[in-house]
Amino acid sequence: MSDETQDWTGRVAPTQDDIESIARDVIATLPTAFAPHARDIVLRVEDLAPDDMLDELETDDPLELTGIYDGVPMTHKSPSDPQHFPDTIWLFRRAILDEWAERGDITLPDLVAHVTVHELAHHFGWSDDDIARIDRWWE
């Protein structure tokens, strides 16, 4: 390796804003059939999942959770049901960066896009098993 490739001076990890920008680009380019249904979803990017969320999911390692959909899937909504909170996709920057570095075989935008689409699939009513049947990403 040259000295140039080992000089990390001035380099910083992608920020929460960088991750959000990538995810918003993904949402903006959804196929026409899905785009209107994704417009009202709140997108939140945090460094790590909050403790109460980890407790609810019964997991101790925040680096295991790259994203989560928090809401009522479209397949379970009724116009007569009151909605108490907006549907939200949470992306967790440090967990995404950890997976990106560990994998080493994909670009950061590809990983963020994949996590975002995975969480959108939950909004559209797909279970993890449904997603796994057509998406072998983590194998």
Q: 40-54 burial by CB neighbour count: b if 16+ within 10 A, else e?
A: ebebebbeebeeebb
Query: Where exactly are the structural domains of the chain?
Result: 12-73+82-129
Check if the beta carbon of residue 43 is closer than 8 Å to that of residue 91.
yes
| 3-state SS record for 84-122 | CCCCEEEEEHHHHHHHHHHHCCCCHHHHHHHHHHHHHHH
- Is residue 66's pLDDT more than 70? yes
Query: What per-residue confidence (pLDDT) applies to 1?
Result: 46
Helix (H, G, I), strand (E, B) or coil at 129: helix
Average pLDDT rounded to a whole number, residues 28-32: 89
Query: What per-residue confidence (pLDDT) applies to 62?
Result: 94
Q: What is the second-level CATH architecture of the domain 12-73+82-129?
A: 2-Layer Sandwich (3.30)
- Is residue 126's pLDDT more than 90? no
Mean pLDDT of the chain: 85
d(CA 63, CA 54): 10
Q: What percent of the chain has pLDDT over 70?
A: 86
Query: What per-residue confidence (pLDDT) applies to 80?
Result: 67
Q: How many CA atoms lie within 13 A of 103 on its CB side?
A: 15
134/43: higher pLDDT? 43
Average pLDDT rounded to a whole number, residues 111-119: 92
Token pair recorded at residue 3: 């000295």
14/139: higher pLDDT? 14
Query: What per-residue confidence (pLDDT) applies to 40?
Result: 81
The answer to which of 6-15, 28-37, 71-80 has the lowest mean pLDDT is: 71-80
- Is residue 4's pLDDT more than 60? no
